[in-house]
């Protein structure tokens, strides 16, 4: 499975979205692979890390987010679940889990209910080291400012808006993975 071909398939007819998705995903994949290369003791599946990092945001193609050229109808917060459905349909269940679990530092059923998010009340937290690594790397890159890499402090500040729990998870990942 070649992730770039799959992204091209889903972005057919929308070259602007293709550009956003490819640039963002490649930056996330590059950071995740750099970290995996520095932490051989974690025994991360680097081929899977590359593929899943490239595909983690594929669900945005079905969302309504004109600022990043998404012409779908779904709420943007659903892009992880949508991507999970798409990747399962492609026969990629491990990749689907990464897509579903990368929002913030992961979402709990409780937080989905308390915040009234347009998601089913289920736990969507990264569990495997590969899922955690890709979720972590994703926090350093946005799809609206493709040229920038956020600093550790900038990521912490953006996560703080959603409460201390996510910040503690991010700090734990930082201690494990570094930058």
pLDDT in tens, 114-154: 999 999 999 999 999 999 999 999 999 999 999 999 999 99
Q: For residue 149, how many other CB atoms are within 10 A of its CB?
A: 13
- Domain 3-177 classification at class level: mainly alpha
The predicted pLDDT at position 163 comes to: 80
Q: Mapping DSSP to helix (H, G, I), strand (E, B) and coil, where does residue 127 land?
A: coil
What pTM, to 2 d.p., does this model score?
Answer: 0.96
- Under a CB-based contact definition with an 8 Å cutoff, are residues 32 and 38 in contact? no
- Consecutive 10-residue runs of the chain (179 residues): their mean pLDDT? 95 98 98 98 98 98 98 98 98 98 96 95 98 98 96 95 90 95
Rounded Cα distance between 120 and 53, Å, is 24
Rounded Cα distance between 173 and 62, Å, is 30
The predicted pLDDT at position 61 comes to: 98
Rounded Cα distance between 176 and 158, Å, is 20
């Amino acid at each position: 499975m070649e992730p770039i071909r799959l992204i091209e398939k889903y972005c057919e007819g929308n070259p602007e979205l293709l550009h956003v998705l490819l640039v963002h995903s490649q930056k996330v994949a590059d950071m995740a692979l750099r970290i995996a290369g520095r932490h051989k003791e974690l025994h991360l599946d680097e081929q899977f890390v590359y593929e899943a990092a490239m595909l983690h945001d594929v669900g945005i193609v079905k969302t309504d987010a004109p600022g990043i050229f998404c012409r779908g109808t779904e709420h943007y917060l659903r892009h992880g679940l949508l991507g999970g459905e798409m990747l399962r349909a492609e026969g990629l269940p491990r990749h689907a889990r990464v897509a579903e679990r990368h929002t913030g530092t992961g979402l709990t059923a409780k937080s989905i209910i308390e915040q009234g998010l347009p998601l089913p009340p289920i736990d969507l937290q990264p569990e495997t080291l590969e899922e955690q690594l890709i979720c972590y790397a994703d926090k350093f890159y946005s799809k609206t400012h493709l040229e920038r890499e956020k600093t550790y402090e900038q990521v912490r500040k953006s996560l703080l808006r959603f409460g201390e729990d996510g910040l503690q998870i991010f700090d734990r990942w930082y201690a494990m993975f570094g930058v």
